[in-house]
Structure 1
Amino acid sequence: MTPEFVVGFARQAIEITLVISLPMLGVGMIVGIFISVLQAATQIQEMTLTMVPKIVAIFIALLVAFPWIMDKMMTYTTNLFLNLPNYIQ
């Protein structure tokens, strides 16, 4: 194993992790901004008002994106196992 291979392998793992987490993070950010604007407009400063809608929205986004996430993970894992003999050499 060369250092370039290890760096490329780690880069690919980090890249797939970021791509998989993007839908949930995006939904959380959008809901957080919307709730912040709503709080600023109404001057309601309640911490649970920000956390509960974000948790629910992220959970719904996870349920919607789950088939896509599983497809990405299965493709990555399949490629990893199929190329395992090449990695050992």
Structure 2
Amino acid sequence: MNAQMVLTVGRDALVMLLMVSLPILLAVLVVGLVVSIFQAITQIHENTLSFVPKLIAAVLVFAIAGPWMLSTLVDYVRRTLESIPSLVA
């Protein structure tokens, strides 16, 4: 196993991490932006007002995209485990 293979496996892991976490991060970012604009307009600065909608958005995204995220991660782990013999040899 040379340095190029290690870098390739690491790059694939980072791409998988970004691909799986992107839906949740985008949903929380959009909800946070909307809540921040609402707080700036109304001058209501309550911590729970910004936390609860983000939490609800994250749970909804997990409920909707969770099966896709899980199957994507399982496929990645399966491919990685199956490629171990070719990486070591």
TM bucket, shorter chain: over 0.9
**Distance in 2, Cα, partners of 1:9 & 1:84:** 11
- For normalisation by structure 1, the TM-score amounts to 0.94
Alignment-derived partner of residue 38 in structure 1: 38
Q: Does 1:26 align with 2:26?
A: yes
Unaligned runs of 5+ in 2: none
Amino acid at match of 1:66: G
For 1:82 and 1:8, locate their aligned partners in 2 and report how far apart those are by CA, in whole Å.
Answer: 15
Report the RMSD for the aligned CA atoms in angstroms: 0.9
Aligned equivalents of 1:84, 1:2: Cα separation in 2: 13
4+ residue runs over 4 A deviation: none
Aligned length: 89
Q: Which residue of 2 aligns with 1:87?
A: 87
Which residues of structure 1 form unaligned runs of 5+? none
The TM-score normalised by the length of structure 2 is: 0.94
**Which residue identity lines up with residue 78 of structure 1 in the other structure?**
R
